[in-house]
Amino acid sequence: MSSDLAPRPRSAAPAVADGDNRYKAVQAKLDALGRALDDAGLGLEELVRSIRKNAKRAEDAARDVDNAELDPRFVELTSNVGIALGGAGVQVKKLYETAQETADLTHDTKRTHSKLYGALDDIRSNRREKTPRPGFFNR
């Protein structure tokens, strides 16, 4: 049972967790994280379909082995593969749902951050005079 999923190249984290907390940097990090989670969701959705297809193939193969009256242990082993794939599919579906929920929360966070701090950033960015850095007055 082969899969037509190709391994994806490993890449760096979608958003580097550095100390840059400027408005535009946070917006860029949230955007990168949201896109990465959306992409992961698509990959997981594809994986769920592939696992289900392979589980069905294993079930069909177990039935064919049984109909061919081969040794019952081969029927059992082949059936166990289908059962294991079914269980894996359930877990990958849960992971997919978690990735989607996290992506939605990330997009919501980006919008909320924009509502709370976007206007302030516009004011600070368009001034000719320098303004204090965030946290300056908390000393």
Q: Residue 114's pLDDT band (boundaries 50, 70, 90)?
A: very high
Residue pLDDT, tens place only, 11-69: 556 667 788 889 999 999 999 999 999 999 999 999 999 999 999 999 999 999 999 99
Q: What percent of the chain has pLDDT over 70?
A: 88
Query: What is residue 32's predicted lDDT score, i.e. its pLDDT?
Result: 94
Looking up tokens 């850095």 gives: 133
Whether the per-residue pLDDT at 73 is higher than 80: the answer is yes
Query: What is residue 21's predicted lDDT score, i.e. its pLDDT?
Result: 87
- Please answer whether residues 79 and 63 qualify as being in contact, where contact means their C-beta atoms are separated by less than 8 angstroms: no
- Which among 18, 26, 13 has a CA at the least distance from the CA of 112? 26
Q: Residue 126's pLDDT band (boundaries 50, 70, 90)?
A: confident
SS3 per-residue string spanning the chain: CCCCCCCCCCCCCCCCCCCCCCHHHHHHHHHHHHHHHHHHHHHHHHHHHHHHHHHHHHHHHHHHHHHCCCCHHHHHHHHHHHHHHHHHHHHHHHHHHHHHHHHHHHHHHHHHHHHHHHHHHHHHHHCCCCCCCCCHHHC
Alpha carbon of 73 to those of 24, 48, 66, 86, 137: distances in Å? 62, 28, 10, 20, 74
Q: Residue 125's pLDDT band (boundaries 50, 70, 90)?
A: confident
Which of 4-8, 63-67, 69-73, 96-100 is predicted with the least confidence, judged by mean pLDDT? 4-8
Q: Residue 1's pLDDT band (boundaries 50, 70, 90)?
A: very low
Residue pLDDT, tens place only, 75-87: 999 999 999 999 9
